[in-house]
Structure 1
Amino acid sequence: MQSLLNDNMVLLTLFGAFAILVLTAFVVSTYFNKIKHSKADGVLTDDSWDGIKEFKNDLPIGWAASFLCVIIWGLWYIFVGYPLNAYSQIGEYNREVDNHNNQFQSKWASLSQSELTTMGDNIFQVQCSQCHGFDKTGINGKAADLSVWGRVDHIVKVILEGSEGMNYTGVSMIPIEMSKDNARDVANFVMNSLSEAKIPASADSIARGKELYLNNCVACHGEDGKGLMPGFAPDLTTYGTHKFLQEVLKRGKNGHIGKMPSFEYAKFSEFQEKALNDFILSDN
């Protein structure tokens, strides 16, 4: 009982209940007295129903005061009191997750590259392998083949086959009619010149890819690859990095056979996202 009385919300609730009881008792007793002692006199309205008229009574002061107090309390409750400044289970859960992630990140911040990839492998097997397979190949087309995701080959595949998209306002990307060699040139330009991944490629291929990109891709992705406008198309400058993976996990992914849901509920830390991205890009 003592612990309950130390909770501000419990005290506020008890106070509100007591105030309501007192107010109710006062109003009931007031009107009982009026019923006993009031007389049928006063100014009548002009309206009549079968010879029956009603009195022009002023708004009861007690009712008006109670109504005003309820409005004031409601505004306080919404903007000052609960839930903005009070305890909630959701808030407690989010704080616990944030504290755990901070402790986790500081504990494992000095992992080697192989250890980081192993961590990403463990996350992948728990969260992703059900659809993408233990070997990342997508279980015979059930889901995207992540063994080529984040690489030049995947961009070539998207150019030639299109993509259902990640719920951007530009909707899905349709296939672009060009040869596979030209698609590879575009992919080389994107991964070398636009993406932070900076994957090496020949200068000739990059130059051809830039010209093809400007003729076929800028309408959605813009010249700088960041998208014509925010939220319209994927930011290609992050493709192949954990930042692009963050967007996939946040938005979910439409596929040709179904939809991958958002993984925001999992509350991955950025460190875990880097580990998962490293495993996907690894040859393991």
Structure 2
Amino acid sequence: MKSMVIGGIILIVALIAGTYFIAGDAFNSDDYINSLTMLGAIAIITITVFVALKYVNQIKNDTASGELKEDNWDGIGEYGNPIPTGWGLAFIGAIVWMFWYWGFGYPTNGFSQIGQWNEETIEYNKKFASKWENPSKDTLTAMGESIFLVQCAPCHGVDAEGIEGKAQNLTHRISKDSVKYVIKNGANNFTEKYPGGMPPMMLTDEADIDAVATYVAGGFKGEQPTAYGVCAGCHGADGKGIAYVAPSIIDYSDDLVQTVLSNGKKGHIGKMPSFKGRLNATQEKALATYIRSLGE
């Protein structure tokens, strides 16, 4: 046993030295949390090693004794012995330490870089909203172009004509392939503003699908196909959509762009991720204004 204790002490010293060697620079600062963390590491290492030694020694030397509990099978079962005193005290102590740490050791209302960043962001957004409370169309277009070049151009291209296999062309309303994809597969990822979604295969005849896709992609020009009547029930005869029923399919309305930014979009090319939280309401409106200007 004596040799095991000596070996345990050597192991503890080695582990503590290794911990300090790897993260020692952090403990030279004035932040007491780092020192508290080091003390916790020392305590965990020490307790773990000595508990392990204790039970290794018991396995080597102790024999089971006591009365078996009533629930056993052919004499194989658990003894009704009380839990080890040290284990019980350590368990209770860990619970007490947990509440102390949450309440006093590292209070949630203390300073944090994330909290500071959030406060500064909120303050900046307030100033931004106040400055651009009533922007003109030209201002929105210019702002939207800057946002587009940073957030959207990596997939849609700096000229908004799309990158093949990555994102669609935004210089006109929508491609024929995109319309066909939605007709055949439906769309239900805009449930926040359009709870009903769009079920797939509202049109089943290939000729009707092709005629409607050509008409919608062409900007509602020419004679309206009879089959479009199925779409008009939700999107309206003019394609401008109905609030909380279906979005506009004739232009990039503010509502449609904001909904796509918040929810992402799955189409025939692939899936666009959600941009929720990246842009404020004014920036989303500016982006929609700029995208519409591309078609103009």
TM-score normalized by structure 1? Answer: 0.54
- Cα separation, 2, equivalents of 1:67 and 1:121: 60
Query: What is the match of residue 262 of structure 1?
Result: 274
Give the residue type in structure 1 aligned to 2:263: R
**Structure 1 pair 44–94 and aligned structure 2 pair: CA distance change class (3 A):** same
CA distance 1:11–1:122, shift in 2 (3 Å): same
Structure 2: how far apart are the matches of 1:277 and 1:147? 12
Secondary structure, counterpart of 2:31 in structure 1: helix
For 2:293, the equivalent position in structure 1 comes to 282
Q: CA RMSD in A?
A: 5.2
Aligned to 1:273: 284
**2:150 aligned residue (112, 121, 126):** 126
Determine if the alignment matches structure 1 residue 249 to structure 2 residue 261: yes
Q: Match of 2:87, SS?
A: helix
Pair 1:144–1:20, CA change in 2 (3 A): closer
Q: How does 1:214-229 map to 2 (within 5 A)?
A: 214=233, 226-227=244-245
Q: Distance in 2 between matches of 1:118 and 1:171?
A: 34
Which residue is 1:4 aligned to? 31
Aligned position for 1:113: 137
Q: Report how far residue 67 of structure 1 moved.
A: 0.7
The answer to whether the 8 A contact 2:263-2:273 is kept is: yes
CA–CA separation in structure 2 for the residues paired with 1:142 and 1:22: 55
Stretches of structure 1 that go unaligned for 5 or more consecutive residues are 48-53, 189-204, 228-233
Q: Which amino acid aligns with 2:151?
A: Q
| SS of 1:243 mapped into structure 2 | helix
Post-superposition shift, 1:99? Answer: 3.3
How far off is 1:135 after superposition?
3.6
8 Å contact from structure 2 (residues 258, 284) kept in 1: yes
Q: Which runs of 5+ in 2 are unaligned?
A: 1-27, 70-77, 192-196
1:193 matched residue in structure 2: none
- Structure 1 segment 1-284 matched on structure 2, within 5 A: 3-5=30-32, 9-10=33-34, 13=37, 44-45=66-67, 57-74=81-98, 85=109, 89-139=113-163, 143-149=167-173, 154=174, 157=176, 161-163=180-182, 165=187, 167=189, 173-174=200-201, 176=203, 177=208, 179-180=211-212, 213-214=232-233, 226-227=244-245, 240-264=252-276, 267-283=278-294
- Aligned partner of 2:21 in structure 1 is none
Residue 261 (structure 1) shift = 2.2
Question: Retained in 2: the 8 A contact 1:131–1:143?
Answer: yes
Q: 2:194: which partner in 1?
A: none
TM-score by length of 2: 0.52
Q: Distance in 2 between matches of 1:44 and 1:245?
A: 73
The share of aligned pairs that are identical, in percent, is 35
Instruction: Quote the offset at 1:278 in angstroms.
Output: 0.8
